[in-house]
């Protein structure tokens, strides 16, 4: 309860926190200490348990076991409302702002101290005052949708300050900010800390952590790996803590040397949903018979890169050449016809039609042509026979006639998805996190399918956050950070430290 070093009550303390979802442990024996008046960074890869830990602190989840103390007293938050009442609030990556209401209205919403009658002028005054104090200026009468993302984030922080939050948790706040906005945010964070509030700052970017935090806690695989004073922490140590044990390279057939480039990407730029540049000028090739792995923490442009390559989003500039044809602004259908296959990250949301049967899903891209259809008419027997063959060949289990595919287990869903894509015999296969969330058997099956494509002479682009997966399958690795390629290396040269540093934004002196 008392911080030995500083001999005063801790703002927050977590002891031995466990939290599991459906049998998978997201947090395991986590200890965490937050001092008053500090900016404390929470560092870790995706899936490390940072968001879960923060959600527990903010009252969104209840821990399965362990204890939580707030300002020295035991804390048992049942809902976020409880946490907020106690003084703990979180700014989520997806803002909880009502777009059509004004800033002032969003501040007042659900606030316990606001009276029945809404005094707009008073609310406005408070908002302006808070904004000025903390460098979070926003126009109180503006509607949320009129604000830039950076300004919206300010409103989220103002909301917490308006409730006099003493502990503020910011989940990857700089992901949506320009560099200048990020600097302004850091100033605000330090100011809040100077007042005696505590800020938890979740990030995967080492330079930011170094710049703004007092202490750092690293999470990996659901456990705390270390808590150090930022001043004492070396980036390479932090990176190693984030990424973990030395990665072993599995033995694999070297195979035939790769052939010509089947996918050439030149200075590609693609916008994000919000209109910012998510892919900021990427140039790379994928050759026939090789697997190129793109590693990086999610949110650095991977999604937009994939969309830009398969036709789901038109790049703003740059070119994409597929098998000799310029497909930069071609439609999705043209991309498919030119020989690109795509295993998306979202299985049931995009890759598969959840209510349709397995055999219908297996024909999702091929149905326009024989044997599936003849002169506009579907050939049911082709669906049945091809479906049965593929189910057998790719070991897709749980399939019954007429059963909607969403009832299959995750592993079988993915096997079906990947099976369909490789059946297209593509020139280029793009796969995003193909073995995420799968059990051992399914993981191996999917990996083998990808390697088989490599054997066949296709070019494979593997976009993933899972370093094990990348190392097991790739011939070459590229590291993506903030929409650019910051590192290139053959897989033999990849080490945990090197990848960790690059993924966290630390550039190398000489890049490949």
Partner 1 sequence: MSTRRFIIEPRGLASPWLKLLVPIGSVLAALVVGAIFLALTGENPFSVYSHMVDAAFGTSRSIAETLLTATPLILTGVAAAIAFKMLVWNIGGEGQFIFGAIFAAGIAIWLGDGAPAYIALPLVVIAGGVGGAFWASIAAVPRVYLGTNEIITTLMLNFIALNFMNYLIFGSNSPWRDPEVATFPEGRPIPDATRLPEFFERLDYGIFIAIALAILAWYLLGKTRWGFQVRIVGDSADTARYAGIGVPSKILGVFLLSGAYAGFAGGLFVAGPVGALDPRSLALGLGFTGIIVAALARLNPLAIIPVAVLMGALINAGPSLQSIGVPTATVTMLQGAILIFAVAGEFLIQNRIRRPEKAPKAAPSSGEEASPA
Partner 2 sequence: MNDTWVVELAFAAMILGTPLIFATIGEIMTERSGILNLGVQGMMLVGAVSAFWATYNTENLLLGLIAGLLAGAALSVIHAFTSVTLRVNQIVSGLALTIFGTGLASFLGQAGSDPLVGNPSPVVFEPIFTGGIADWPIVGPLLFGHDLMVYVAWAVAGLASYYLFRTKMGLALRAVGEDPASAESAGINVSAVRYAYVMVGGALAGVGGAYYSLKIVPTWQDDPIGEAGWIAIALVILASWRPWRAVFAAYLFGAAERVQFTLQTLGEPWSNIPSTILAMTPFVLAIIAMIVLTSGKRARFLGAPAALGIPYFREQR
Three-state DSSP at 330 gives: coil
Q: 332-371 mask for partner 1 (x: CB under 8 A)?
A: xx-xx-----x-x-xxxxxxxxxxx---x---xx-xx---
Cα gap 453→425, rounded to integer Å: 8
Stretch binding partner 2 (CB under 8 A), from 10-18, 89-97, 183-191, 314-322: 89-97
Stretch binding partner 2 (CB under 8 A), from 6-14, 115-123, 213-221, 434-442: 115-123
Residue placing its CB nearer to partner 2 in the complex, 37 or 80: 80
406 binds, among partner 1, partner 2, none (CB under 5 to 8 A by kind): partner 1
- DSSP-assigned letter for residue 174: G
97 binds, among partner 2, partner 1, none (CB under 5 to 8 A by kind): partner 2
Q: Which of residues 10-69 bind partner 2 (CB under 8 A)?
A: none
356 binds, among partner 1, partner 2, none (CB under 5 to 8 A by kind): partner 1
Cα 346 from chain centre? 12
Nearest CA-CA partner of 134 in 179, 197, 200: 197
User: Can you say whether the dihedral through the CA atoms of 114, 118, 122, 125 is positive or negative?
Assistant: positive
Q: Please identify which residue in 47, 59, 150, 308 interacts with partner 1, judged by CB under 8 A.
A: 47
By the rule CB under 8 A, 452 interacts with partner 1: no
For residue 105, the minimal CB distance to partner 2 (Å) is: 6
Q: Please identify which residue in 15, 25, 124, 143 interacts with partner 2, judged by CB under 8 A.
A: 143
CB distance 461 to 431 below 8 Å: yes
Nearest CA-CA partner of 487 in 468, 506, 465: 506
CB distance 166 to 197 below 8 Å: yes
Cα gap 250→230, rounded to integer Å: 35
By the rule CB under 8 A, 223 interacts with partner 1: no
Q: Which of residues 51-80 bind partner 1 (CB under 8 A)?
A: 51-52, 55, 62
Q: Please identify which residue in 112, 115, 179, 376 interacts with partner 1, judged by CB under 8 A.
A: 376
**Interstrand relation of 317-322 and 24-34 (parallel, antiparallel or unpaired):** unpaired
Residue placing its CB nearer to partner 2 in the complex, 105 or 126: 105
Cα gap 128→126, rounded to integer Å: 6
Q: Please identify which residue in 81, 187, 397, 425 interacts with partner 2, judged by CB under 8 A.
A: 81
For residue 437, the minimal CB distance to partner 1 (Å) is: 3
Q: Please identify which residue in 1, 2, 24, 109 interacts with partner 2, judged by CB under 8 A.
A: 109
Beta bridge partners of 69: 13, 74
For residue 18, the minimal CB distance to partner 1 (Å) is: 11
Beta bridge partners of 8: 3
Q: Please give the structure tokens belonging to residue 267.
A: 């200075």
Q: Please give the structure tokens belonging to residue 264.
A: 């050439």
81 binds, among partner 2, partner 1, none (CB under 5 to 8 A by kind): partner 2
> Please, what is the angle between helix 496-503 and helix 235-243, to 10°?
110
By the rule CB under 8 A, 438 interacts with partner 1: yes
Residue placing its CB nearer to partner 2 in the complex, 225 or 348: 348
24 binds, among partner 1, partner 2, none (CB under 5 to 8 A by kind): partner 1
Q: What is the dihedral of CA 127, 131, 132, 136, to 10 degrees?
A: -170
Three-state DSSP at 454 gives: helix
By the rule CB under 8 A, 145 interacts with partner 2: yes
Nearest CA-CA partner of 450 in 433, 429, 464, 471: 429
Q: Which of residues 388-427 bind partner 1 (CB under 8 A)?
A: 403-404, 406-413
- DSSP-assigned letter for residue 222: T
CB distance 80 to 60 below 8 Å: yes
By the rule CB under 8 A, 105 interacts with partner 2: yes
Residue placing its CB nearer to partner 2 in the complex, 152 or 506: 152
> Please, what is the angle between helix 120-134 and helix 179-194, to 10°?
100
Binding site for partner 2 (CB under 8 A): 79-81, 84, 95-101, 105, 108-110, 114-118, 120, 143, 145
Using CB under 8 A, list all residues that contact partner 1. 20-24, 26, 46-52, 55, 62, 222, 311-312, 331-333, 335-336, 342, 344, 346-356, 360, 364-365, 367-368, 373, 376-378, 380, 403-404, 406-413, 436-439
């Amino acid at each position: 309860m008392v911080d030995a070093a500083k001999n005063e009550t801790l703002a927050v303390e977590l002891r031995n926190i466990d939290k599991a979802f459906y049998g998978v442990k997201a947090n395991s024996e986590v200890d965490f200490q937050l001092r008053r008046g500090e900016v404390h960074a929470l560092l870790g890869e995706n899936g490390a348990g940072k968001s879960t830990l923060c959600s527990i602190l903010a009252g969104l989840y209840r821990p399965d076991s362990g204890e939580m103390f707030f300002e020295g007293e035991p804390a048992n938050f049942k809902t976020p409302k409880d946490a907020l009442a106690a003084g703990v609030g979180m700014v989520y990556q997806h803002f909880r702002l009502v777009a059509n209401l004004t800033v002032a209205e969003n501040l007042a919403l659900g606030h316990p101290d606001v009276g029945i009658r809404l005094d707009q002028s008073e609310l406005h005054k408070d908002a302006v005052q808070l904004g000025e104090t903390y460098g979070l200026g926003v126009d109180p009468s503006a509607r949320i949708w009129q604000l830039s993302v950076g300004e919206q984030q300010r409103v989220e922080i103002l909301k917490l300050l308006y409730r006099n939050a003493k502990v503020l948790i910011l989940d990857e706040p700089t992901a949506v900010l320009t560099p200048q906005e990020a600097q302004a945010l850091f100033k605000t964070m330090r100011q809040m800390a100077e007042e005696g509030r505590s800020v938890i700052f979740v990030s995967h970017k080492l330079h930011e952590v170094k710049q703004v935090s007092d202490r750092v806690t690293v999470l990996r695989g659901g456990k705390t790996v270390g808590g150090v004073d930022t001043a004492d922490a070396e980036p390479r140590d932090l990176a190693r803590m984030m990424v973990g044990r030395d990665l072993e390279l599995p033995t694999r057939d070297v195979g035939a040397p790769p052939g010509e480039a089947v996918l050439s990407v030149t200075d590609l730029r693609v916008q994000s949903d919000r209109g910012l540049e998510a892919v900021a000028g990427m140039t790379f090739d994928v050759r026939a018979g090789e697997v190129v792995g793109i590693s990086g923490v999610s949110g650095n442009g991977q999604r937009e890169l994939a969309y830009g390559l398969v036709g789901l989003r038109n790049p703003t500039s740059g070119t994409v050449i597929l098998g000799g044809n310029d497909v930069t602004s071609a439609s999705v259908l043209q991309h498919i016809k030119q020989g690109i296959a795509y295993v998306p990250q979202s299985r049931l949301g995009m890759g598969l039609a959840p209510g349709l049967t397995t055999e219908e899903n297996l024909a999702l891209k091929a149905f326009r042509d024989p044997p599936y259809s003849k002169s506009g008419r579907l050939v049911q027997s082709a669906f049945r026979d091809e479906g049965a063959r593929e189910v057998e060949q790719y070991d897709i289990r749980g399939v019954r006639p007429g059963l909607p595919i969403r009832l299959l287990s995750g592993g079988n869903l993915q096997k079906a998805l990947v099976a369909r894509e490789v059946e297209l015999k593509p020139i280029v296969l793009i796969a995003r996190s193909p073995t995420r969330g799968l059990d051992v058997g399914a993981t191996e099956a999917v990996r083998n399918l990808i390697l088989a494509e490599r054997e066949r002479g296709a070019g494979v682009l593997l976009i993933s956050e899972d370093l094990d997966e990348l190392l097991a399958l790739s011939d070459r690795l590229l590291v993506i950070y903030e929409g650019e390629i910051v590192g290139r290396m053959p897989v033999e040269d990849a080490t945990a430290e090197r990848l960790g540093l690059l993924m966290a934004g630390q550039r190398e002196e000489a890049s490949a």
